[in-house]
Structure 1
Amino acid sequence: MLWTKGYPFDNKHARIEALEGPILHPSSSDPLVLSADQAKGLALACSSAVFIGSSFIIKKKGLRVAGANGVRAGIGGYSYLVEPLWWAGMLTMIVGEIANFAAYAFAPAILVTPLGALSIIVSAVLAHIMLNERLNIFGILGCVLCIVGSMTIVLHAPEEREITSLLQVWNMALQPGFLLYCLVATAIILYLIVSVAPNHGNSNVFVYLAICSLVGSLSVMSVKALGIALKLTFQGQNQFVFIETYFCILVVAICVVTQINYLNRALDMFNTAIVSPIYYVMFTLLTITASLIMFQEPQTGTQIMTEGCGFTTIVIGTFLLHATRELDISLSDLTQLLRAPPPGSQSAVRFSAMEMGRLQ
């Protein structure tokens, strides 16, 4: 009888462990302790959020300048391609995406993707400073909720199975469940691009962002595969001898170009405070769904419920950022409301009328 980490194993289990890697027991791992690879993925994802959040604002300013001098991106123009400020934002986004790309090589998608909420916070703060899009007390509360929700997911992210080659990821992608997801997502994307976007894209923010989010959920899976391929190649196991690697590169290139095109249209036609949170929620939900279908990381019931609570907290935070963006209200205003006269009194009626008129 063998004893490992406080658990008895017979010779059969020892042979399985030798062939398939360590057997993980949920009770033997502390959810509050991140592995070395998870810590690297966490650091890369946080730095990515800073760059990507900043790129939204820089690109928005570039789109404004380009729209004043040529055909706007929202109606199909590409004058932003000759605008240096837009390219500065694009370069910032590329740096952020490279960091995000690397993060997927070290940590599971269910940990990396929710940290995109930090880019919303960066974007909201910079929009307040640079674009005069006011961040009120509810917006600040929304930012705090995004951070709390992100930390909840980070601290309870599942351990990812050890992947030894790109072909292992390729075999996961060929599972019937994930192939069905890809087929359905592709059909919806084509329908939105061909039938819906030409008529409703400029009036409904969800059209362009749905295209970006669905395409993004497919690109993340290829990014994950490429990240693992690069990681293993640097470790001495060349993954570029497989044709599957180049297929993943092609998928990523097509998805990135599509996302950039429709995200530019959304940013040009709608307020950044609307685009960032809605895009985050849709992209995160679809990416986590695709990740769970493809990788099937083992999780306990407690982990799933905690991650669900964390994601719900992030959604509430992003909703506050979006729904209250037009309110001109501060902490002192809330203090005055708390000190309002008793309801029903004549002064209370005057006070309510005065406050409603001022907020409107």
Structure 2
Amino acid sequence: MAVSQTEGEYLTLHEYVRAAREKLDGNMWDYVVGGTATETTLLRNRLGLDKLALRPRVLRDMSSIDPSHHLLGRPARLPLLLAPVGGLESLRPGGGQMVARAAGEFGVPFMLSSVADSDMRAVADAASGTRIFQLYARGDADWVDEQVRRAMDCGYDAFCVTVDSAVYSRRERDIAKRFAKPWRAKGGLDTMRYQAAFNWNDVRRIRDRFDVPLILKGIGTAEDAALCVEEGVQVVYVSNHGGRQLDHGLGAIEVLPEVVEAVRGRATVVIDGGFSRGTDIVKALALGADMVGIGRAYCYGLAAAGAAGITGVLELLEAEITECLGLLGARTVKELNRSHVCRADPVYPARTHSAFPLMSPFVDEY
């Protein structure tokens, strides 16, 4: 059984987190790790994962373990994708292209955010694998349609619309420091009204006019998951924006079972929200997710060491996922099911970085 091993300066995931904390200024660090208002939803993301335990099966032939998977018919080395993150250029110059290059070379899909401060075509050209463009509506229907056309012309394989941001949240870490994110002003702050007005009619228009797989990101209920399927959406993306939009929401992993039940295999289910370790990813797959998005995790790698840092984080996650599958008695991710997880009391208090108990606690400080 071959398990990839990271070589070099960083040998554990928490070393990337610590290095990112040392290299980012306070404003950007708070942007990456923070949530909205009381940060309850952010902490519930982590708590929901920590309240799940794994149930291993033994005496199965584990001489060959394959952690690979697929998204929209395209192969992926791991059952994860690099979720869209705004402000990549502020984490490291050229960040968008670094993410695209690292994802393609490693073999996992990535999403480029429309507020990533990275050129759509330049990022697409840097990619060699599955690339997805994610949009915040900052214009009328004609403007949105033009973004879809541009993405398709640039070679993006799917189009995603984030739908949990009708109202922009109060992120008090930023407000308290008077930190104005430069990418928030992209297109003018008054254009937020278009995001507020975006609705199911817009989804239908995109579906009917464009031959491109459509993803809706920000689904948090069975009701909206069912509507996605009814409207022909190919990917239902469970997300609470990493705890950065609605405060006092459920953790993403807690919402996943009802979404999976509502979808009933008629669409692909992706989830993100607090996923930091290989065991986290395996838990989501066991509960029915087809793929897991990571955001903060790869941002730490990007901030610490650029494209090589992203690859390093992915290699460590690959090692953790493969190890977890082997010890659960699952040779592939398709062999995972709900019998592999159960409820349990969490061991650590919920914190942004409770997945890294060996790390110095200073990283959670303001």
TM-score (norm: length of structure 2): 0.28
User: 1 or 2, which has the higher helix percentage?
Assistant: 1
User: 1 or 2, which has the higher strand percentage?
Assistant: 2
Structure with bigger gyration radius: 1
TM-score (norm: length of structure 1): 0.29
